[in-house]
């Protein structure tokens, strides 16, 4: 059975005109494949639903939040399906609980672990086109769950895995993965093929084009992904295993974030176990600490400790640190106007001097680096948010990404 999974993002189904275009794309694939479609909500709808929840309460029930914010997908799936019916196809929508798509984990951040195939397979065999709600599933209490913002990418990849699809195509509003966000830098260049590892870093470090969990799932299950535009017929980007790629670039891409906040504890006692005492209660409260730097203490007794968290976790972090009886410090300072800029590429493993080139390029722009973190295939720096655009432009040039 030659199955293909097609995912359409919010902008691709954002208007009735676009939904009609999407139906034409689906019809084209139907000639050659059994087609399974996953759709996001129309663009803006999920945000509006989240805003409604905020009007009820800041502490809106997590289980009801998932019922609420998953509802946008029901709407878009019905519209796509009805348009296909209008065109003479056999199609129907499937809400996640009807499949069902089973998830585990917490509300808002669940992960898909199983998909019941029976109904969908027999419907495909009868020539039907199932249009399935992305971004959601049900848990073992039979309650609706969601799988994190942008989650329809992960839904599509899990469908491709469970149905052993020949292809998984992510239709979005850009015609592929670029060296950096093409909506922010005109000279960004389309990447023809990229490895899961690099895409995972790019996505985790701010490239919204793919949701990070979806790339983890794709890598674990060896699902090849094609990212392309629902607005043009241009060839897209293939995301695949490293072995399939011949690459002569040192750096593949540059990502940036806009939702980081920096926290500094001044005058912390410099003794073993202090960092653990600071970070333990944060992790117990599901606050993800990202970059960390500790200054060398001048007098051997006191030091300054700086770390970053997501901006939305800042007030919670502040509260937890101030209530922490296990630590002493002189002052607590915050900075919300910071951003993380990262360069990513498997090429840096075998190329010396990449760090130096990055720092020098930023120094030439008089951009101050506040915190640094590295892994085998990425270097991230924390800088003032107002300098992000200039930083990206200079790094893009330095590593010849527009060539």
Among 143, 208, 242, 316, binds ligand ADP (CB under 6 A): 208
Task: Tell me: does residue 176 bind ligand ASP (CB under 6 A).
Answer: no
How far apart are the C-alpha atoms of 269 and 247, rounded to whole Å? 48
* Binding segment toward ligand ASP, per CB under 6 A, in 39-47, 106-114, 117-125, 167-175: 39-47
11 or 308, CB closer to ligand ADP? 11
In angstroms, what is the minimal distance from the CB of 198 to ligand ASP? 22
Structural tokens at position 174 = 């850009």
130 or 151, CB closer to Mg ion? 151
Task: Tell me: does residue 206 bind ligand ASP (CB under 6 A).
Answer: no
Among 41, 261, 263, 362, binds ligand ASP (CB under 6 A): 41
**Residue 139, number of CB atoms within 10 A of its CB:** 18
End-to-end alpha carbon distance in the chain: 41
Task: Tell me: does residue 172 bind ligand ADP (CB under 6 A).
Answer: yes
Binding characters for ligand ASP, 103-142, by CB under 6 A (x = yes): -------------------------------xx-------
How far apart are the C-alpha atoms of 187 and 297, rounded to whole Å? 44
Task: Tell me: does residue 12 bind ligand ASP (CB under 6 A).
Answer: no
* Binding segment toward ligand ADP, per CB under 6 A, in 4-12, 23-31, 288-296, 302-310: 4-12
Task: Tell me: does residue 208 bind ligand ASP (CB under 6 A).
Answer: no
In contact, 268 and 302? CB cutoff 8 Å: yes
40 or 308, CB closer to Mg ion? 40
How far apart are the C-alpha atoms of 102 and 107, rounded to whole Å? 13
List C-alpha distances in Å: 189 to 156, 178, 254, 396.
Answer: 26, 5, 11, 10
In contact, 18 and 42? CB cutoff 8 Å: no
Task: Tell me: does residue 347 bind ligand ADP (CB under 6 A).
Answer: no
Give 14: exposed, middle or buried? Use CB within 10 Å, 0-12, 13-18, 19+: buried
How far apart are the C-alpha atoms of 320 and 309, rounded to whole Å? 13
Among 150, 212, 236, 345, binds ligand ADP (CB under 6 A): 150
Structural tokens at position 292 = 């960390």
Query: Alpha carbon 103 to chain centroid distance?
Result: 18
In contact, 177 and 210? CB cutoff 8 Å: yes
Q: In the window 15-74, what residues touch ligand ADP (CB under 6 A)?
A: 40
Task: Tell me: does residue 177 bind ligand ADP (CB under 6 A).
Answer: yes
**Kind of pairing, strands 129-133 and 34-39?**
parallel
In contact, 378 and 253? CB cutoff 8 Å: no
Q: In the window 130-169, what residues touch Mg ion (CB under 5 A)?
A: 150
In contact, 103 and 147? CB cutoff 8 Å: yes
Q: In the window 46-105, what residues touch ligand ASP (CB under 6 A)?
A: 46, 72
How far apart are the C-alpha atoms of 381 and 384, rounded to whole Å? 10
Residue 345 partner contact from Mg ion, ligand ASP, ligand ADP, none using kind-dependent CB cut-offs of 5 to 8 Å: none
Task: Tell me: does residue 155 bind ligand ADP (CB under 6 A).
Answer: no
How far apart are the C-alpha atoms of 23 and 80, rounded to whole Å? 6
Q: Which residue has the tokens 């996953």?
A: 38
147 or 185, CB closer to ligand ASP? 147
In angstroms, what is the minimal distance from the CB of 8 to ligand ASP? 9
In angstroms, what is the minimal distance from the CB of 336 to ligand ADP? 22
Task: Tell me: does residue 72 bind Mg ion (CB under 5 A).
Answer: no
In angstroms, what is the minimal distance from the CB of 26 to ligand ASP? 18
How far apart are the C-alpha atoms of 4 and 218, rounded to whole Å? 15
Among 66, 73, 181, 197, binds ligand ADP (CB under 6 A): 181
Among candidate residues 75, 91, 67, the one with its CA nearest the CA of residue 40: 75
Interface residues with ligand ASP (CB under 6 A)? 9-10, 40-41, 46, 72, 134-135, 149-152
- The residue ranges that bind ligand ADP (CB under 6 A) are 9-12, 40, 150, 172-174, 177-178, 180-183, 207-209, 253
Residues lying near Mg ion in the complex (CB under 5 A): 9, 150
């Amino acid at each position: 059975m030659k199955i293909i999974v097609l995912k359409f993002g919010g902008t691709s189904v954002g208007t009735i005109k676009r939904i009609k275009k999407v139906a034409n794309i689906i019809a084209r694939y139907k000639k050659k494949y059994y087609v399974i479609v996953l759709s996001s909500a129309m663009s803006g709808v999920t945000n509006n639903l989240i805003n409604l929840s905020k009007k009820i309460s800041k502490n809106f029930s997590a289980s009801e939040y998932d019922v609420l914010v998953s509802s946008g997908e029901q709407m878009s799936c019905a519209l796509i399906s009805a348009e296909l019916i209008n065109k003479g196809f056999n199609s129907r929508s499937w809400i996640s609980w009807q499949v069902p798509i089973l998830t585990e984990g917490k509300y808002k951040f669940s992960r898909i672990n199983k998909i019941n195939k029976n109904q969908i397979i027999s419907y495909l065999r009868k020539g039907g086109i199932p249009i399935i709600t992305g971004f959601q599933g049900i848990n073992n209490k039979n309650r609706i769950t969601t799988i994190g913002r942008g989650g329809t990418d992960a839904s599509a990849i899990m469908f491709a895995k469970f149905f052993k699809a020949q292809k998984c195509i992510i239709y979005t509003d850009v015609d592929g993965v670029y060296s950096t966000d093409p909506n922010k830098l005109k000279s960004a260049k389309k990447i023809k093929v990229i490895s899961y590892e690099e895409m995972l870093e790019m996505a985790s470090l701010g490239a919204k084009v793919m949701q990070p969990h979806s790339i983890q799932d794709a890598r674990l299950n060896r699902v090849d992904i094609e990212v392309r535009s629902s607005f043009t017929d241009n060839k897209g980007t293939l995301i695949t295993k490293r072995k399939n790629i011949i690459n002569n670039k040192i750096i593949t891409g540059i990502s940036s974030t806009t939702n980081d906040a920096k926290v500094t504890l001044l005058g912390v006692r410099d003794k073993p176990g202090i960092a653990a005492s600071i970070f333990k209660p944060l992790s117990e409260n599901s606050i993800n600490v990202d970059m960390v730097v500790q200054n060398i203490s001048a007098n051997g007794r006191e030091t300054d400790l700086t770390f970053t968290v997501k901006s939305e976790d800042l007030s919670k972090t502040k509260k937890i640190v101030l209530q922490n009886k296990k630590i002493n410090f002189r002052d607590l300072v915050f900075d919300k106007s910071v951003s993380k800029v990262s360069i990513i590429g498997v090429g840096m493993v075998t190329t010396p001097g990449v760090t130096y080139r990055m720092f020098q390029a930023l120094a030439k722009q008089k951009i101050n680096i506040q915190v640094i973190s590295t892994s085998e295939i990425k270097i991230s720096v924390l800088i003032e948010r107002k300098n992000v655009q200039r930083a990206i432009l200079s790094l893009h040039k330095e590593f010849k990404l527009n060539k």
